[in-house]
Amino acid sequence: MMDLVISDKVHDESRQGEALLLEPVAGKNNGRKLYIESYGCAMNFSDSEIVASILSEKGFETTTDYTNADVIFINTCSIRENAETRVRNRLKEFKVAKSKNPGMVVGVLGCMAERLKAKFLEEEKLVDVVVGPDAYRDLPNLIDQVDSGQKAVNVLLSREETYADISPVRLNSNGINAFVSIMRGCDNMCSFCVVPFTRGRERSRDPFSIVNECTDLFDRGYREVTLLGQNVDSYKWTASEEAEGAIVNFANLLELVSQINPDLRVRFSTSHPKDITDEVLYTIAKYDNICNYIHLPVQSGNSRVLELMNRTYDREWYINRIDAIRRIIPECAISTDVITGFCTETDEEHKETVSMMEYVQYDFAYMFMYSERPGTLAAKRYADDIPEATKAARLTEIVALQQKYSLVRLQAQIGKVQRVLIEGFSKKSKNDYCGRTDQNAMMVFPVDERYKPGMYVNVIAERCTTATLMGTIVG
């Protein structure tokens, strides 16, 4: 059974499997071609840009055709079983290419590499290199090792690595939106989740390097940054002793980035219900260029299930955070993640997830059936005892419900004028532009030659589907 994913926002799985392009640094071309493919969350896509930067320094050129690559990297995700299955199937295709070109190096990067470590080399004989998310600086050495006839593994996790000094090569970029990593790892131990094991301890990146990267992006014409972390609300950076140990928290960081330029839109993902503070909400409300959109994963609407999930909040706490958002930022769009059929979840408990969705009326939701991950707390403690058919039926029910609310939320925008950042032509037609509203809704509208991608326009919403607004530029 496939996961169902609604809408195409930040950790959009439809981006999975993109080939990423990079230009060689002038004068350093080493004559070898690299092909990178990324799966999973925005963090992985952002990491591939760091990998590209490290290898372009060594003179690698890229190709979009893996069959003629000298090095193939696949940056992997372990979040659910089907994410791993997808990677294994892709490796089978790489195996065919490698049989025709035995000198080809095949590397597995990212979360699956970290989860399986050297076992990967036994399980998938074609793989030459296995590299975890904190070891990308070592890639040039590891490739040398493979060139000299050995297999190579580096899956050391770090308490410090943030790649702060590496300026990512922007891959497949429209030159307008960019992801900026502000922290790595996760210290929460949600019982279903593999991320703390694949990404290690939480650490925050130096705010000055973040502001510099965003400033540089703005100077190069980018108009939107998305600050990335597994739990951005626990961002915390302590200054040196000379600065008297001043602390920069997430609200402070948001403010710093928003002050770069009023024309730079600031988005962020993911917020955690236990950590999102009123200070963060007031900061969003204070700056027009911090977008009114919060992704606040609920996972379940039932307090007993939330406790088993080790989410460290209950239903009342979550509702309190939703109410605070509605009070402080009345126009804010809210999206969520939901898991159906977690261990021991009863029909009544599932109904509380349904009633939570009715209460909040989310703008979007990413919805998944529970997938047991080896090594997690839930896998150790609880039986995965909800039949697949029940998980699927609960999923189908909430997907239908969410379709309804996605439509309701977009319909409420009709007749209103929205400020839209033009991202490019719409997928369907060169006669239309597309871009997102402050609240992250996709708007499609006829091209007007006076305006180009990267510019802001006011658009009146006239019609909508469950996923897209359609309108016309005004004024």
44 binds, among ligand SAH, ligand F3S, ligand SF4, none (CB under 5 to 8 A by kind): ligand F3S
Question: Rounded to whole angstroms, how far apart are CA atoms 6 and 4?
Answer: 7
List, in sequence order, every residue forming a beta bridge with 247; answer none if it has no partner. Answer: 238
- Binding mask 366-385 toward ligand SAH (x if CB under 6 A, else -) reads --x-xx-x------------
Helix (H, G, I), strand (E, B) or coil at 416: coil
- Binding mask 186-225 toward ligand SF4 (x if CB under 6 A, else -) reads x-x-x--x-xx-----------------------------
- The string of DSSP codes covering 88-139 is HHHHHHHHHHHHH-TT-EEEEEEHHHHHHTTHHHHH-TT--EEE-TT-GGGH
Whether 367 and 402 have beta carbons less than 8 Å apart is answered as yes
Angle CA 362–367–369, to nearest 5: 150
Compute φ and ψ for 219, nearest 5 degrees.
-60, -30
Whether 341 and 383 have beta carbons less than 8 Å apart is answered as no
The reply to whether 77 sits near ligand F3S by the rule CB under 6 A is: yes
The reply to whether 199 sits near ligand F3S by the rule CB under 6 A is: yes
Q: How far is the CB of 135 from ligand SAH (least distance, A)?
A: 21
Q: How far is the CB of 147 from ligand SF4 (least distance, A)?
A: 36
Amino acid at 138: D
DSSP 59: T
Which residue lies nearer to ligand SF4 by CB, 224 or 233?
Answer: 233
- Binding mask 222-251 toward ligand SAH (x if CB under 6 A, else -) reads --------xx--------------------
Q: How far is the CB of 338 from ligand SF4 (least distance, A)?
A: 12
Question: Rounded to whole angstroms, how far apart are CA atoms 130 and 217?
Answer: 31
The reply to whether 41 sits near ligand F3S by the rule CB under 6 A is: yes
Which residue lies nearer to ligand SF4 by CB, 230 or 283?
Answer: 230
196 binds, among ligand SAH, ligand SF4, ligand F3S, none (CB under 5 to 8 A by kind): ligand SF4
DSSP 30: -
* Contact pick of 8, 206, 337, 432 for ligand SAH (by CB under 6 A): 337
Question: Could you give the dihedral angle defined by the CA atoms of residues 294, 300, 304 and 308, in that order, rounded to the nearest 10 degrees?
Answer: -90
Whether 172 and 200 have beta carbons less than 8 Å apart is answered as no
Q: How far is the CB of 326 from ligand SF4 (least distance, A)?
A: 23
Interface residues with ligand SF4 (CB under 6 A)?
186, 188, 190, 193, 195-196, 230-231, 272
Interface residues with ligand SAH (CB under 6 A)?
79-80, 192-193, 195, 230-231, 270, 272, 297, 299, 337, 339, 368, 370-371, 373
